[in-house]
């Protein structure tokens, strides 16, 4: 199984907008090639490559999975390596990483929805890599499908030849054999030299409790066998190959992998951190030029994660560390807060990534956590030096002397929104423009995507601060377009901005975990919203409590929580001593979970409530 000449190998990926059917098509391809058994009935094979529970629940692919299959065509047996890629904007780094192991990709488009924002972004990633792109129209079984219309839309948007279009239903299996034939017939075979020194590109890794790190590699020269001694170009560490094989779709040992193939290796690599994504592995004793690595991923959304019960910190930290073994794009730092105790500050690629991580912590490690409001990394430039700040607590006060000479910059993104614009849908474009304007958008520009037809679609481009889209932007976009708009964005560097630190105070004492960085124009709106929310969750005390939002030494908003009039035990009739004692004891028990801000006791749950509802916007 391991001996395959280049001309019988095809390495490809499926690219599409979220929900256009990648995972369903992957299942059909695996069935059609008898890699997995066909399961009839409504249960069927459902997204075999989507392994995580959260992926199944949310129907999104988070981590790219690889599967190899065999397909006979024209009397020849081909080895097809499929790399499933995630479709969400937060995970686009996985797409470019996966494509480095491919010579072609299927560009899958839902025939009822047509080209969407992520269809455009994944197309460009594939184009940049110079790989063969095969357009595939999916869901043609649906009555609402408009294959001809969408086909011409794809052809005009991407400059692809309509005669190359494949028409399929991943659900029923219609046209799936043609997809396999097109993969064999149109995607070029890899052209790597089996006789050359070994060069294996490490493009993904996972952690196995018993065997340590399992790495996915794309061989771009030479062969690799069980028992070989290899070294990493990045760390210079040496390893022995314990097992090597292909994903079929589970790990299937072959004893050998050759140039052009994609597969897994297990070596005596103990720590996940040793598997450096983008590293080149080579044979010990041979010197090779490392393959071009990957652009390192950058965390763009940061948040503090604290246990609901402060005694659970050690367990939480352990769980976070274990989880990051399977998701290396998350950055971790310890953090401690007077309001929330010990916690961790984590960096994510985007807000969906953060949500997925939290859900995995809850599902897989049974953790209950409080997450602070997400922050993007700000840049402070002073005396020619720049510093990145990703925790509002570290952000200097506007009133500090040093801030008078400093410049604050915030990360920007170029956003793409695609929205239908028919006679009955004329309001959407205006709504989308309003949405962008209310999120500090610049340079809003739009054009029609389709050249003709009654129901047209508009592509809207705009530059926005990243901080504006990490809160409620996506939800509002979906809501205001009745779910029709699609959205994607890419990094657009840093720009000067008038951001300020806002602090919330209880009787003059700051609640550190709630500090946030807000644009000057939004101070009053955000301040009022949060102060009101705090008033709802803070229990009344024996004295009056002033709740204030403060920025740059100025009180932006204030509410007063009046004092409790009665003794807590006063309501217990008859003054029965035992009852009273029991009640007081219960209260004492509850106090353990209380946090003290000045002389005010706050239950940890109050933070949970205030932080788990949407921001004050
Ligand atoms: N009617 C019909 N439904 C389909 C077809 N292909 C996929 N679907 C359905 O479309 C939905 C999304 O399909 P998935 O395969 O999960 O989409 P995906 O592109 O893998 O989604 P992500 O992994 O989250 O990017 C599921 O409910 C599928 O059952 C098709 O050909 N016809």
Distance from the CA of 510 to the center of ligand 1, in angstroms? Answer: 48
**Residue 572 phi, psi (nearest 5):** -85, 110
Counting ligand 1 atoms within 8 A of each CB, the residue from 13, 16, 17, 19 with the most, and so the one to mutate, is: 19
Pick the CATH number of 6-186 from 3.40.1390.10, 3.30.1360.120, 3.40.50.300, 3.40.1210.10: 3.40.50.300
140 is in an annotated binding site: yes
Q: So what's the pLDDT on residue 578?
A: 62
Domain 301-372, CATH class in plain words:
alpha beta
CB 431 within 8 A of CB 481: yes
In sequence order, the β-bridge partners of residue 212 are: 208
Give the tens place of pLDDT for each residue, 507-556.
999 998 899 999 999 999 999 999 999 998 888 888 999 999 999 889 99
**Residue 83 phi, psi (nearest 5):** -115, 115
Q: So what's the pLDDT on residue 313?
A: 92
Counting ligand 1 atoms within 8 A of each CB, the residue from 13, 14, 23 with the most, and so the one to mutate, is: 23
Which whole number is the average pLDDT over 13-36? 90
- Tell me the pLDDT of the chain averaged across its residues: 84
Distance from the CA of 59 to the center of ligand 1, in angstroms? Answer: 9
E strands, 406-498, are 407-421, 442-448, 456-465, 486-496
Running DSSP on this structure, what letter comes out for residue 290?
A: P
E strands, 151-196, are 166-167
Extents of the domains making up the chain? 6-186, 200-283, 301-372, 392-496, 501-616
Nearest to 512 by CA among 328, 341, 301: 341
61 lines ligand 1 (CB under 6 A): yes
Predicted confidence (pLDDT) at residue 392 exceeds the cutoff of 80: yes
Give the ipTM. 0.98
Query: Does 6-186 match 200-283 in CATH topology?
Result: no
Rounded percentage of the chain residues whose pLDDT exceeds 90: 46
Dihedral sign computed on CA atoms, order 25, 26, 31, 36? negative
Nearest residue CA, atom 8 of ligand 1? 21
Q: So what's the pLDDT on residue 429?
A: 86
* Confidence band for 616, pLDDT divided at 50, 70 and 90: very low
Q: DSSP letter string over 528-579?
A: HHHHHHHHHHSPP-SS-EEEEEEETTEEEEEEEEPPP-S-TTTTSGGG-HHH
Counting ligand 1 atoms within 8 A of each CB, the residue from 21, 111, 143 with the most, and so the one to mutate, is: 21
453 is in an annotated binding site: no
Nearest residue CA, atom 13 of ligand 1? 21
Dihedral sign computed on CA atoms, order 101, 106, 110, 114? positive
Residues 6+ apart with CB under 8 A from 596: 602
Give the tens place of pLDDT for each residue, 250-265.
889 999 999 999 999 9
Dihedral sign computed on CA atoms, order 47, 53, 59, 63? negative
Global pTM? 0.76
Dihedral sign computed on CA atoms, order 580, 582, 586, 589? positive
Distance from the CA of 457 to the center of ligand 1, in angstroms? Answer: 22
- Report the range of poorest mean pLDDT among 6-20, 515-529, 600-614: 600-614
18 lines ligand 1 (CB under 6 A): yes
Atom of ligand 1 nearest to the CA of 16: 19
The CATH number assigned to the domain with range 501-616 reads 3.30.70.2570
Distance separating alpha carbons of residues 450 and 477, to the nearest angstrom: 21
* Confidence band for 275, pLDDT divided at 50, 70 and 90: confident
86 is in an annotated binding site: yes
392-496 topology per CATH: Alpha-Beta Plaits (3.30.70)
16 is in an annotated binding site: yes
Most confident of 52-56, 211-215, 274-278: 211-215
200-283 placed in CATH 2.40.70.10: no
**Residue 574 phi, psi (nearest 5):** 75, -10
Predicted confidence (pLDDT) at residue 579 exceeds the cutoff of 80: no
356 lines ligand 1 (CB under 6 A): no
138 is in an annotated binding site: yes
167 lines ligand 1 (CB under 6 A): no
Distance from the CA of 21 to the center of ligand 1, in angstroms? Answer: 3
Q: So what's the pLDDT on residue 455?
A: 57
Distance separating alpha carbons of residues 69 and 256, to the nearest angstrom: 16
Nearest residue CA, atom 32 of ligand 1? 139
E strands, 318-455, are 331-337, 341-348, 369-371, 378-382, 385-389, 407-421, 442-448
Atom of ligand 1 nearest to the CA of 58: 24
């Amino acid at each position: 199984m391991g001996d395959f000449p280049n001309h019988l190998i095809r390495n490809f990926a499926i690219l599409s907008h979220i929900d256009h059917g990648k995972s369903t098509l992957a299942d059909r391809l695996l069935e059609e090639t008898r890699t997995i058994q066909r399961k009839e009935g409504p249960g069927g094979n459902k997204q075999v490559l989507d392994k995580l529970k959260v992926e199944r629940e949310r129907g999104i692919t988070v981590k790219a999975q690889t599967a190899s299959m065999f397909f006979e065509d024209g009397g020849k047996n081909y080895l097809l390596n499929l790399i499933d890629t995630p479709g969400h904007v937060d995970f686009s780094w996985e797409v470019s990483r996966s494509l480095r192991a491919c010579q072609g990709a299927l560009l899958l488009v839902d025939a009822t929805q047509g080209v969407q924002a992520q269809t455009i972004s994944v197309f460009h990633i594939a184009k940049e890599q110079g790989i063969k792109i095969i357009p595939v129209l999916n869901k043609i079984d649906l009555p609402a499908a408009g294959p001809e219309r969408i086909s011409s839309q794809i052809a005009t948007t991407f400059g692809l030849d309509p005669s190359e279009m494949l028409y399929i239903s991943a659900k029923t299996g219609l046209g799936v054999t043609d997809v396999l034939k097109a993969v064999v017939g149109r995607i070029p075979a890899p052209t790597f030299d089996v006789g050359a020194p070994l060069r294996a590109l490490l493009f993904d890794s996972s952690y196995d409790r018993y065997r340590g790190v399992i790495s996915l590699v794309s061989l771009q020269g030479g062969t690799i066998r069980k028992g070989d001694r290899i070294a990493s170009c990045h760390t210079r560490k040496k390893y022995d190959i314990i097992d090597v094989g292909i994903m079929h779709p589970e790990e299937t040992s072959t004893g050998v992998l050759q140039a052009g193939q994609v597969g897994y290796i297990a070596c005596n690599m103990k720590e996940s951190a040793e598997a450096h994504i983008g590293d080149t592995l080579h044979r010990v004793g041979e010197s090779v030029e490392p393959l071009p690595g990957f652009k390192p991923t950058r965390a763009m959304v940061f948040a503090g994660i604290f246990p609901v019960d402060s005694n659970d910190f050690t367990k939480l930290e352990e769980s976070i560390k274990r989880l990051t073994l399977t998701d290396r794009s998350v950055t971790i730092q310890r953090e401690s807060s007077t309001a929330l105790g010990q916690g961790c500050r984590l960096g994510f690629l985007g807000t969906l990534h953060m949500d997925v991580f939290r859900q995995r912590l809850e599902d897989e490690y049974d953790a209950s956590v409080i997450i602070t409001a997400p922050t993007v990394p700000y840049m402070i430039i002073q005396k020619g030096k720049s510093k990145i700040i990703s925790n509002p607590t570290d952000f200097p006060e506007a009133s500090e002397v040093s801030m008078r000479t400093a410049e604050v910059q915030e990360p920007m993104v170029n956003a793409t929104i695609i929205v239908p614009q028919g006679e009955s849908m004329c309001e959407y474009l205006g709504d989308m423009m309003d949405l962008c304007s209310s999120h500090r958008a610049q340079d809003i520009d739009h054009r029609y995507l389709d050249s003709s037809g009654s129901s047209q679609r508009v592509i809207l481009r705009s530059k926005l601060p990243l901080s504006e889209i990490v809160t409620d932007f996506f939800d509002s976009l979906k809501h205001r377009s009745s779910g029709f708009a699609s959205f994607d964005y890419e990094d657009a560097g840093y720009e000067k901005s008038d951001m300020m630190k806002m602090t919330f105070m209880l009787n003059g004492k700051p609640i550190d975990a709630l500090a946030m960085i807000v644009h000057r124009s939004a101070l009053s709106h955000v301040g009022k919203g949060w102060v009101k929310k705090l008033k709802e969750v803070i229990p009344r005390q024996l004295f009056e409590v002033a709740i204030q939002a403060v920025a740059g030494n100025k009180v932006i908003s204030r509410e007063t929580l009046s004092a409790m009039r009665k003794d807590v035990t006063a309501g217990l009739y008859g003054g029965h001593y035992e009852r009273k004692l029991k009640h007081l004891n219960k209260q004492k028990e509850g106090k353990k979970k209380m946090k003290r801000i000045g002389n005010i006791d706050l239950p940890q749950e109050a933070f949970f409530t205030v932080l788990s509802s949407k921001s004050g916007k």
